[in-house]
Amino acid sequence: MGNKIRYMYIDILKTVAIFAIIISHVCIIGRQAAILNIPFTHFQHIGKVGVPLFLMISGALLLNRNYPSIKEFIYKKMLRIIPPYIFWMLIALMVIGFLNHVPFNYDGLIFYINNFFNLGVNWYFWMVIGVFLAIPIINEFIKNKKIEGAKYFSLIFIISSIIYQICILFNWTSFLDLSFFITPIGYVILGYYLANREYKLSSNALIIIGLIVFLSIFIIRLYQPIPYKILYLFMVNNTIHLDSFLDISLIGILESTSIFILIKAIDDSKKGFGKKIKGFFEINVVKKIILSISKSSYGMYLTHIYLVMIVFHYFDLLPLSGTKMALLIAILSIITIILAHISVLIVSKIPKLKILSGYS
């Protein structure tokens, strides 16, 4: 594992994903403000592409692999994600308790226990555990059926999204049950498919198409000219207490797909403007920063929880104009990203605590 190959586009995607998540959470402080008649909540929704990108990266890296032992695979993955979660969640709970003056009594203990397992942003952690448990099973399917199997599953994933959104739009309660396909695993397999399929178009053409699709969806997300229930589709099942903010709408799938293809095409570029863009990411300083953020991304996700709590406590719903709120959000986003990154790096440099840092 020490000599594993690193792909530049994967590191860039991880950086984009964690930036999107952190910025979207900071944007919540301006939920009652707007700029150019665009509510800041619309900017927040744009960040929902972060989690699908992380899932697609998992598919690109973990599928069609030889895992001699399922037990060993699960052990390594759980060891990588559970200790950092416990460590950073305890810090987040201490911060929340301090900011909200939670007493050290029975009621306070119940408060801490409930938030440890059920803090709003924790859904991602529990989802990732489920994904890793499923990887050995899905991996055998991909190893057997290769790219055609991934193409088939991805197609059903997209069709399922369309069907479910039609049902929601027209309030249909009886429909074809494709719930097995419309899960986080759909993004995982889609990521493998996009990373391994052969593209007939040139890298430069893919960059242009990816950019056009992304910018189109970006504008749609901002101005929301179509109903909300078409723009978003979240995987929620209140019957069995599953709460998820994973966007599995068609637009969400197209958005994450366009970014994945765009960045991978840049990495694959050998001539033209694509090669020039790639040259920027190959600058030594830029490359080192992206690599460091990529390796810190899981830890940054966990670390930013308590940082965002501090942001909420001191800056939530300030009566600012749209321009001032945008500037505040930009500054706080940059500070939060930097502090989250530094926090992970500091803990990772302490030998006995590195396993708790979320740095890999």
| Residue ranges of the chain with per-residue pLDDT less than 70 | 1-4, 120, 174, 225-244
140 in any annotated domain: yes
292 in any annotated domain: yes
Buried b / exposed e along 301-327 (16+ C-beta atoms within 10 A): bbbbbbbbbbbbeebeeeebebeebbe
338 in any annotated domain: yes
52 in any annotated domain: yes
pLDDT tens-digit map of 211-254 = 999 999 988 888 876 665 566 665 544 444 455 678 888 889 99
pLDDT for the residue 316: 85
pLDDT for the residue 234: 59
3 in any annotated domain: no
pLDDT tens-digit map of 141-153 = 999 999 999 999 9
What are 39's strand-pairing partners? 34
Number of domains observed in the structure of the chain: 1
pLDDT for the residue 239: 41
pLDDT tens-digit map of 175-188 = 778 888 888 999 99
Structure tokens of 325?
């709120």
How many Å is the maximal CA-CA distance in the chain? 65
Q: Is the pTM of this model over 0.95?
A: no
| Residue 234: φ, ψ to 5° | -105, 145
2 in any annotated domain: no
pLDDT for the residue 1: 40
pLDDT for the residue 2: 44
Structure tokens of 218?
């970006």
Measured distance CA(213)–CA(184) in Å, rounded = 22
Side-chain half-sphere of 50: how many Cα atoms within 13 Å?
24
Which range of residues forms the domain containing residue 193?
A: 8-357
